[in-house]
Chains A and B, each alone.
Chain A
Amino acid sequence: MDQKYIRNFCIIAHIDHGKSTLADRILEMTDTVNERDMKTQLLDDMELERERGITIKLNAVQLSYHARDGHEYLFNLIDTPGHVDFSYEVSRSLAACEGAILVVDSTQGVQAQTLANTYLALDNDLEILPVINKVDMNNSQPDITKKEIEDIIGLDCSEAPLISARTGLNVDQVLEQIVTHIPSPGGDPEAPLQALVFDSFYDPYRGVIALVRVREGSLKVGDRIRFMATGAEYEVLETGIRNPREVRTEGLSAGDVGWFAASIKSIKNVQVGDTVTSVEKPAKEPLAGYRKMNPMVYCGLYPSDAARYEDLRDALDKLQLNDASLQYEPETSQTLGFGFRCGFLGLLHMDVVQERLEREYNLDLICTAPSVIYHVYLSDGTMLAIDNPAKMPDASRIDHVEEPYVRASIMVPEAYIGAVMELCQNKRGIFQTMEVIDTGRNTIIYELPLSEIIYDFFDRLKSCSKGYASLDYELTGYRKEDLVRMDILLNGEQVDALSVIVHRSNAYKRGSGITIRLKELIPKQQFEIPVQAAVGGKVIARTNIKSLRKNVLAKCYGGDISRKKKLLEKQKEGKKRMKEVGSVVIPQEAFMSVLSRDDEPRK
């Protein structure tokens, strides 16, 4: 198809502003999906995405739209994640587009991620179409929202459609504006091939499937291609698009968004952000690269069943294909055996990866509490980057320790400023500045230790602001702090997977919080178990798990056998999901217990 009838775009929005709903409407109104196949939030096809109502994986679909000018247009819609953890994936999808639809909820106005995503899109030179959503709601304020977009972001909103993605109201205007406002892709189909890999996934039968945006040249079945960064060469076996089902095509050319398969077995060879070119007529240079995002949060992942270590490695390999921001390397724990230290963009990302591993790869995992990377300077001047608290060297060898800080921008209505500031102070925050956005709304800027943010900051921020506050943060650097490693001992034995690095001033509070939580989580056993928290070998908190004294079925007569046996089987099953450390049996949740905070009631 002639490039001038192609439009490549994405939808960006703050979380819950209606991005996926608008995508669904667009799919419906372009006759791409017949109603029988229509499930709400079609693009979010991972089970997990649907359940949580968030978009994790970006997804590209091709739609065909009959415009008012009488022409048939091809739309490539690339869905993007909306959560702060996934900004890397947002940047990948943006780079494959010429334009972006900016959805703003007219009941909430401009939010932190509205801004963050818009700036990302502007950085990628995308044409931005503002769209005012949820105008069917009683509390909708479309005029104020428009003015906000103009004042805060500086986008002209005079033509912005007032829509309801839920009911479909005025979505037709959005479709027309995609045609009239978003530029058609450039690129010369005859030039040497330059195709940007913006996503990939693994198919057990066809190997790695790469999702690409062809910038220059063309790509067809039978071509020999090379990944420019990794140097790997393959013969293209299939090319196609998704609508949203996979449809094979003869080839892809400049301007197209699609996929190809080349019987690629080694997933390491397909790096997201790499440029695909032709072996015969190679491009001189790869496309301007992506900025690879670095993980901020680390945790240990171990199979509950040690025999499944290789399965876990396999699953992580495959997951990484889908999720380039996931990093991992093997590690060993005295307590948990062989596993991996994994790096994530944030807590939600960590959660999602864990759940996908358990669900899609049927693994039973033990996850240790998340940690950040600490810079530990030894007396001899060398610096160690520690991503696992258990690896923190002995205090006698340490000169000082630095921890990562972020600059957190919290957008919050006036009424909750006090509560949010109190929260930040409690989390060792350093107040920077406060900006008034408009009447009733402010941005508070704090410097906060990342380690404080990765625990429960987001949840607590939401609860202390009744859901109104939004958070965006970026790493600013490292600062020297008085940090110590706190060890946890069960029945006198140190459990390395439970060690945690804490600020010395918080050690006592954290220590008692953790020991109390462990007491609640670890089931009573046939003997009493002391639970201790220690810093530098000195016990600072202690509690006891009393021994189990009675565990019998009161009544068990002829008619009770099957029911009571099921009960025993359930007990047995529960025990299987626990880890034996020395003589103590520990449930999986216990390894996350270091997240428990003493300063809040338990949920």
Chain B
Amino acid sequence: MPPMTARCHIEIDDRAVEATRGQSVLEALHTHGVVVPALCHHPGLSCPATCRSCVVQVEGQGGSRMVTACNHTVAEGMIIRTEDSESRSLRSRALAEMVQRHAMECPICPASGECELQEAIGGHGPQAQAHELAGSSERVALGARLHFEAGRCIQCSRCARFEQEVSGAGQVGIKGRGPQIEITTGPAGVDHPLSGNLVDLCPAGALVDPASTVAAPAWTLRSVDTTCGSCATGCAVRADVDSAGQVTRLRPRLDSDVNDWWMCDEGRFGFDQELEGRLRLPEPATPDEETAWHVAVDRLRRRMAQPRSAVWLSPFLTLEEASVLIDAATTWGARLFLWSVEDRGEMSFPGGFRISGSRAPNTTGVGRLREAGETSVGTTKDLQTAIGEDQVGQLLMCGGGPAGVRPRLDRSGVSFLATHNLVSYEKADLVLPASHWLEKDGTFVNDRQQLRRVRPARAPMAGQTDLELFLQLAGREPTSAAEIFRELASRHEWLEGSSHAQLDANQRTHPQGVAAGGAWVDTLQRQGLLVIEDPAR
């Protein structure tokens, strides 16, 4: 709660409200549920105030003026009007100008349904004659997952500012002058690791992901808020799921402590290779045949209860999963080791965004369980040494990472090997299918010690989740991840006061929606016209 001095009293459409000093008029309006279009403005970028579609009337010292809400700040006693006929007609005019040459192809545009321009026109735009000089769109490929539809561009310059301020790559700029301005790229197109954000940023469907043109329309998707498991940054993301239950795309959610409005292309586009890959294990298997879950669980418990057993924990496990597996190992008397994934070096960007060097999402979390646990947990090197000294007869090796991230371990001498993985790339005596992070319910701790909430966007492909498996291995009754987290929080000081419910509340979507693109869906939701089902809520 900011101190009282940071507040000021303003009036919005004859309603007396409080605002925060230094806040823009646009922010104050949004806070109080008043929507005006703001097409060049993006809260994560500088504010050029050039689209002029957020014009409102402001009365303050020096009389009444028409100002752009995005770049004027509130002041004590300010009276803001958005509903008067003058400011309504000016906003409508600005929008009419903007769409005069905008290619009118909403029926075939993938942005349709979550398009900021569409939303703005619907709420504030002109009634007729808007697309008077519109032509059709011409498509230019700027990158593998980025196409530019020139006819749809409204010259808002968000993409060019993103390239300067956030990615720092400067690969998109504005070219030409006057009526001819358009966006331009260097000879290499756009090939930096944050390029996917340009699609989210674009308010008019001009920058599109070619894959999305064949995907289900935005209004048929349901969304789940979760955390990206592709690296230890732990970006807040929203997973959109189509009616068949497939995750069709990931988009970043605002989390100013972690990822602001952005995410990297690897996280955004990399997930479905693992999630929907043809090589994913459908059920447990021995070298000869597939087996039923209960057969596999019984066999594993029997073997692991023998002396010289070891469990290799994976940093792709959630806190809850790792904790239950540690419990199981303890009952078996098995030694514990933790796989440390090789660090590839952190990548950071001018806007403060970073891609963690660790490709495993929960190295920190599992590591902290290890520190706090009663049993000691060894490193990969310790495990290798133990194998070399013939101290490991049975080994449960947890993986769960993407295909490119594989453990390196010489296992000669291990008589029984069970692996737990998304795909089977190793000869083992028992192979157990693992859950993808988009199928998990639980928590990660990112490399900045921040608790990140992971929630399932789809049912586990293998029929049951890692947590269910580990509970069976530990001989425990089925229970929820939230319940296990509660146990953890009571045992570990560093988790005190946290709970899934509290983390979920903190991760609630910002009023301005998922990265800009989702505003339209949010508006529909607010108006009760669209119900997003969320099985996890």
A binds B: no
